[in-house]
Amino acid sequence: MTFFSSLARFVQRLVFPTLMLLLASCGLANASATLLLEEPYGKLGFFSATGHVAVYLSGVCAESPLKLRPCVPGEIGVVISRYDGVGKYDWVAVPLIPYLYAVDRPEDVPLFADSRMTAFLRDRYRRTYLEAIAPDLKDGGAPGGNWYQLVGSSYDRTIYGFEIETTPEQDLALIQKLNSSSNRSHFHTVSRNCADFAKAIINFYYPHALHRSIIADVGITTPKQMAKMLIKYSAGHPELHFSRVVMPQVPGSMPRSTTIHGVVDAFFTSKKYIVPSAVVSPIFAGCVAAVYVGSGASRFDPARNAMVYVVGGEPQSPLDREDLRAYQHQLKHFLAGAYPEEGERKAEKNWAKLQSHATAGVDEDGHPILRMQVGERVVDVGVSADNLFAGDAPPQLVRQLLEARLASELSRSRHGITDVEVARDWRLLQKASAAPESPFTAHAGPHSPQIRRNNP
């Protein structure tokens, strides 16, 4: 008995963990590191124009936000990033879906996001997973600091991914390095920023792949420069699989993100900086213009040749121009009766106003909802494609949500739109419009939303 008990303990302590590690390694045959180039948003000053950068590792997962481990089959990896003012830590790891959308499940991503829904989802995720690094205030409220940028990044901005192949062995080495580090923040905007951290991660996998630009960015490491260098490195190493993807900002009333800049081109393209400089010193302004032109800043397009990320699915090719115009024309025609004056814009404003008076919450299954007052009743409106019709909301409210979603979705660049998602949204709108006792159904008659495609 003693022998068999000892053998069982040996298997449990040594063989089983080794077997699990081997299984994990088998599941990570296609491991990769993706540089996430994130557009700037808001008006926080000069350096905000450079945006943010993080690293997504498909073969690395989070045992906790501060401890890494190899992924097991079925897991999709983690985003590691550096922000100032997050519990005094140098880096924090968050799984990919929560990092992008502040939810655990792809099917819970809301179709239309406003500031209230975004804040609710972020705080709900924080209370569940990030309490140790962003604890409640004494009154139970959400704390300050930049923790919110660790979750739901796609509500604020469009993100571009530049993926390069790695190996499980490289992942394990990085895990050991980061887990053994002190992980204490010494953030500095100029010398130890988010781009410096991303550069260190990519260079750990491929030494000297990324470097800063002394001329274009006056020696400051910037997100845009890191993306340009990774593209250049991949071109010189065709044996490493390289791909590009765009993760579009979630449709909604949140302010849209803006173009990514480096240091010099941010200065050159901002009138509040370049115009006074040209008045005071034309020679200096001329030098800035020469650097801007010589660096090729205006030619850098992060969406070039990029597939579009689809939540919970495989990346898809973006819509071509003809299909996008067909969808836009059809939506305009469809909304003309309900909103004769402003059309698509009115549909967005109308729903945004309704949503601003609602309360965000979750249903019995944990899916996000909006609670709205309709006459003397309080109704629940499902806000994701998965639970849109699960509540007790009148069909007209569901229709208005979908109208706003499509209007916002089709107003952006075609590089962030796929036929898969737009076609799904039109089918949902058809279903809502055809529901019995819908005032809109009576108004629209036989003209239910159907897309006339130029290309079959």
Q: Which amino acid is at 425?
A: D
Please report the DSSP string for 55-71 in residue order. EEETTEEEEETTEEEE-
Write the CB contacts of 177 (distance below 8 Å, at least 6 apart in sequence).
Answer: 204
User: What pLDDT score was predicted for residue 342?
Assistant: 72
Residue whose token pair is 């940028």 = 149
**Do 233 and 153 fall into the same domain?**
yes
Is the CA virtual torsion 114, 116, 119, 120 positive or negative?
negative
**Do 7 and 42 fall into the same domain?**
no
Last residue of a domain, one of 270, 286, 308: 308
User: What pLDDT score was predicted for residue 393?
Assistant: 87
**Distance between CA atoms of 96 and 313, rounded to whole angstroms?**
13
Taking 50 as the pLDDT cut, the residues of the chain under it are 1-29, 45-46, 438-456
The verdict on residue 1 lying in a domain is yes
User: What pLDDT score was predicted for residue 346?
Assistant: 85
The verdict on residue 409 lying in a domain is yes
**Do 76 and 183 fall into the same domain?**
yes
Q: How many structural domains is the chain composed of?
A: 3
User: What pLDDT score was predicted for residue 215?
Assistant: 81
- State which residues form the domain around 289: 31-252+262-308
Among 108, 202, 186, 119, smallest CA distance to 156 is for 119
User: What pLDDT score was predicted for residue 19?
Assistant: 39
User: What pLDDT score was predicted for residue 414?
Assistant: 75
User: What pLDDT score was predicted for residue 209?
Assistant: 97
**Do 329 and 435 fall into the same domain?**
yes
Reading the block at residue 366, the tokens are: 């944990």
pLDDT tens across 331-374, in order?
988 888 777 767 677 889 999 999 999 999 999 889 999 999 88
**Do 21 and 51 fall into the same domain?**
no
**Distance between CA atoms of 279 and 269, rounded to whole angstroms?**
16
**Distance between CA atoms of 124 and 361, rounded to whole angstroms?**
10
**Do 145 and 233 fall into the same domain?**
yes
**Do 139 and 191 fall into the same domain?**
yes
**Distance between CA atoms of 134 and 88, rounded to whole angstroms?**
10
**Do 367 and 343 fall into the same domain?**
yes
**Do 328 and 300 fall into the same domain?**
no
**Do 273 and 366 fall into the same domain?**
no
Q: HSE-up of 19 (CA within 13 Å, CB side)?
A: 7
**Distance between CA atoms of 134 and 144, rounded to whole angstroms?**
8
Q: Which value, to the nearest 10 degrees, does the dihedral of the CA atoms of residues 124, 128, 134, 136 take?
A: 70
pTM: 0.86
**Do 294 and 362 fall into the same domain?**
no
Q: Say if residues 355 and 400 touch (Cβ distance below 8 Å).
A: no
The verdict on residue 43 lying in a domain is yes
Reading the block at residue 299, the tokens are: 């030619």
Beta-strand pair 242-247/307-308: parallel
User: What pLDDT score was predicted for residue 290?
Assistant: 62
User: What pLDDT score was predicted for residue 269?
Assistant: 61
- Point out which residues pair with 369 in neighbouring strands: 361, 382
**Do 15 and 41 fall into the same domain?**
no
Q: Say if residues 383 and 403 touch (Cβ distance below 8 Å).
A: no
